[in-house]
Amino acid sequence: MGEHTAPTFPQEIIDEYAALGVDLPALFSAGHLGERMGVQIIEASAERVVGTMPVEGNTQPYGLLHGGASAVLAETLGSIGTMLHGGATKIAVGVDLNCTHHRGVRNGLVTGVATPVHRGRSTATYEIVITDEQDKRVCTARLTCLLRDVPRPAAD
C-alpha cells in the first residue's frame, strides 16, 4: 500500500530514545492494525504529528472511507503525540476518542494532523484534523490519553 517512509523526529527525541536502545520508527509506528490499513507516519513531535492513509482498502459498503478508519488514523496520531510528550518513561493509553465526520471520500490519500489541546503530567488531549487531497476537511477528532509509567521488568 504505497512506499514506506520513516517518521521524522526532533534530534533531542532521537537522542533520548537512542540512549535507551529504542528504535523510534518501530516504537511509534501505527502497529499491526495501522500497517494493514496503510497508515504512514510522516512527521512526529509532541507539537505535531502527521500521517497518511489510503482510502482504497479502508472503505465501507458504499465505497466511502469508513468512519472507523478515520478513527484509527486519529487515535494513532494522537497517541504518538502523547507518547512523545510523556517521554521515554511513559506510555500512552487512549481513554476518550470523539470523531465528527464531515464529508465522504472515495479515493486517494487522507492526511491527518494532530496538535495538542492539553499536555499535562497524567493526561494529554490532541485535536486531529483529517483532510483529503484537495485539503478539504473529512473528519475532526479529539483524543485524550492517560500517561502511565512504563512497566518495570519483573525481578528474577
Instruction: Give the position of cell 518501530.
Output: 26
Q: Which of 12, 56, 75, 127 is catalytic?
A: 75
Candidates 113, 111, 99; CA nearest to 141 is: 99
Spatial separation of the C-alpha atoms in residues 125 and 130, rounded to whole Å: 16
Q: For residue 75, indicate whether it is catalytic.
A: yes
Answer for the pair 77, 49: CB distance below 8 angstroms, yes or no.
yes
Candidates 60, 78, 57, 80; CA nearest to 68 is: 60
User: 67 CB contacts (<8 Å, ≥6 apart)?
Assistant: 60, 99, 101, 139
Spatial separation of the C-alpha atoms in residues 85 and 83, rounded to whole Å: 5
Spatial separation of the C-alpha atoms in residues 26 and 29, rounded to whole Å: 5
Catalytic residues: 75
